[in-house]
């Protein structure tokens, strides 16, 4: 069945295997912030093209769990605040793996502030969406890109841990007309090392068909800084949907049912793999019903696609 999908102002038709959901809109899960931008614009045009330039060593991409940092599978550590049908809980834990997820903020080429989500995958490298650092229509890079690790109630453990983006490696410049773009991923190099303090997450190259089956069904975790959650300070604390599912793959993107909202773009979908928490997909967009505004299904980037692409770039 055909879905009418929009990303930005461009509309495309996409064949998806879901019925009775017309019309629909695809929107990125980044969140534009209201108000005038009064921040000094710091340009960032440092796009790199190889792993060597980025400083990412895939052979050494095992997760880092710092000594002395607690490990917890409970994002709230003592509370589970569910709002209505919303299945998300506030990530108030400073334990690993929650500590490795942070908020990305920046200024768009048009001067608007926005937030997204990113994950530490190396000591000074963050994985997120390309549309979190680049305009999908013009390809212009955002400015003032910052990463705030384990942001809780709008605060990080130390102000000195707020990192600025330096070089960037992007999977797409959105000039291919694909919507959604299956290469909507990016790596950001930070101006300081955070992995030894907050930990890093490894990536797992598991096919979507496997993730959509047992034992992964209703056993995945999606974390992100959604702009509607928590209600009192939206976007200032990450949310986590514990026990969500990937349901399939269409046109090279992952379809999932983890609860999301604007700001959660770039958020990791996590699973326990061989005894370790790993990123198995990268949240990127949501499909909503244009008439009711209800969420229908969400979109994510395949991790195997990211790994294959950056391996092809070579060192």
Token pair for 39 = 């921040």
pLDDT at 260: 80
Handedness of CA 238, 97, 163, 205 (dihedral sign): negative
Mean of pLDDT values over 117-126: 96
CA dihedral 220, 222, 223, 227 (to 10 degrees): -160
pLDDT single digits (tens) 189-243: 999 999 999 999 999 999 999 999 999 999 999 999 988 777 788 889 999 999 9
DSSP string, 142-205: PEEEEEEET-BTTB-S-GGG-EEEEEEEES--STT--SS-TT--EEEEESS--HHHH---EE--
Helix or strand holding residue 312 (H, E): helix 303-313
pLDDT single digits (tens) 128-170: 999 999 998 888 999 999 999 999 999 999 999 999 998 789 9
* Domains of the chain by start residue, with CATH: 28-286+299-313 (2.40.10.10)
d(CA 56, CA 284): 22
**Residue 251: strand, helix, or coil:** coil
């Amino acid at each position: 069945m055909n879905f009418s999908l929009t990303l930005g102002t461009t509309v495309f038709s996409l064949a998806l295997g879901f019925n009775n959901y017309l019309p629909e809109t695809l929107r990125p899960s980044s969140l534009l912030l209201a108000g005038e931008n009064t921040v000094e614009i710091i340009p960032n045009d440092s796009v790199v093209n190889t792993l060597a330039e980025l400083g990412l060593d895939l052979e050494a991409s095992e997760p880092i769990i710092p000594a002395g940092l607690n490990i917890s599978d409970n994002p709230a550590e003592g509370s589970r605040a569910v709002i209505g049908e919303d299945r998300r809980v506030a990530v108030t834990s400073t334990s690993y793996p929650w500590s490795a997820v942070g908020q990305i903020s920046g200024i768009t080429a048009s001067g608007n502030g926005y937030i997204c989500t990113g994950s530490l995958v190396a000591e000074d490298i963050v994985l997120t969406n390309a549309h979190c650092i680049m305009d999908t229509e013009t390809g212009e890079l955002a400015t003032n890109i910052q990463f705030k690790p384990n942001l809780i109630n709008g605060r990080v453990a130390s102000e000195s841990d707020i990192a600025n983006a330096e070089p960037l490696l992007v999977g797409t410049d959105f000039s291919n007309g694909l919507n959604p773009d299956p290469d909507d991923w990016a790596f950001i190099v930070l101006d300081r090392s955070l992995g030894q303090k907050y930990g890093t997450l490894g990536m797992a190259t598991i096919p979507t068909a496997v993730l959509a089956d047992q034992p992964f069904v209703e056993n995945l975790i999606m974390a992100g800084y959604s702009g509607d959650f928590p209600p009192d300070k939206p976007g200032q604390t990450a949310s986590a949907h514990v026990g969500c599912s990937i349901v399939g793959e269409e046109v090279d993107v992952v379809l999932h049912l983890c609860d999301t909202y604007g700001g959660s773009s770039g958020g990791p979908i996590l699973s326990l793999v061989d005894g370790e928490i790993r990123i198995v997909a990268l949240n990127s967009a949501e499909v909503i019903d244009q008439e009711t505004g209800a969420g229908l299904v969400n979109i994510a980037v395949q991790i195997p696609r990211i790994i294959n692409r950056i391996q092809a770039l070579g060192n």
